[in-house]
Structure 1
């Protein structure tokens, strides 16, 4: 059963598509529970490598209460943080991939399990995104923790 929050999240995500209704219907019928949605209109995605991404989320989560949506691939080897449109074109960071205007991303249906990509933090349906400045600060803290952990081995 779909909750009101999941319905709002579906509507918000689908609104990024050129034809939101057709996109939503196809997405809901897809046996894999995923859709290909365009980045750059409502959000960009910054994709971080696994360990840095997981640690960044661990730093960010208590700092902001609830960050914007975060995708994780199978095994959480990469995490994708949803940030305001235009962020990807200005982002400079080693190992960070920006997905913005002109690119598409595989997005799972909120509330449904998939075999590959999943929500580490599902969308709230209100369009909450992660503030790029806070994300950058959390990434610096995560990197520092990673260096400290490596020194203590």
Structure 2
């Protein structure tokens, strides 16, 4: 969908479901390092199936380049959406969601382009996290739509 002010196409979260050749080449060439990050300190992580999570972020209308930390594990087809610490439990009852909080860890890129198992779809650039209540609502609406379509 064209952007009325610049004529440029709006990049959607869903467009990140499959890493393009450029990203894959960076993974092959880069000196990438990953490490375990503790959840529950700076953020909780909401883990969900990759495409469903991206669709939920599109439904929320969040800008892909706004610095919301969102991590993809393309090997396990999992998306990790970072929310305020202590608020991930809001998503706990959403079907297909796993919440990582205090006592859990998630693999994150710490140098280079990341890896196929830990790639920032949207690297953290600001003190901005996805609202867990809004994320839960968007994920639940997608479940409802899927149930109606079946």
Do both share a fold (TM > 0.5)?
yes
Deviations 1:5-55 (A, max 9, x none): xxxxxxxxxxxxxxxxxxxxxxxxxx5421111111110001012332132
After superposition, the Cα gap between the structure-2 partners of 1:55 and 1:146, relative to the gap in structure 1 and judged at 3 Å, is farther
1:59–1:142 contact (8 Å) kept in structure 2: no
After superposition, the Cα gap between the structure-2 partners of 1:50 and 1:35, relative to the gap in structure 1 and judged at 3 Å, is same
After superposition, the Cα gap between the structure-2 partners of 1:136 and 1:130, relative to the gap in structure 1 and judged at 3 Å, is same
2:73–2:116 contact (8 Å) kept in structure 1: no
Query: Structure 2: 5+ residue runs without aligned partners?
Result: 1-30
Structure 1 counterpart of 2:88: 88
Query: Equivalent residue of 2:136, what SS?
Result: helix
Structure 2 counterpart of 1:109: 110
Structure 2 counterpart of 1:72: 72
* 1:111 to partner: Cα distance: 5.2
Structure 2 counterpart of 1:4: none
After superposition, the Cα gap between the structure-2 partners of 1:113 and 1:40, relative to the gap in structure 1 and judged at 3 Å, is closer
Give me the whole-angstrom Cα distance separating, in 2, the residues matched to 1:144 and 1:67: 29
Q: Which has the larger displacement, 134-143 or 97-106? A: 134-143
Query: Structure 1: 5+ residue runs without aligned partners?
Result: 1-30
Give me the whole-angstrom Cα distance separating, in 2, the residues matched to 1:54 and 1:75: 16
Give me the whole-angstrom Cα distance separating, in 2, the residues matched to 1:32 and 1:86: 30
Please identify which structure carries the higher helix content: 1
TM-score by length of 2: 0.66
TM-score by length of 1: 0.64
Q: CA RMSD in A?
A: 2.4
Structure 2 counterpart of 1:98: 99
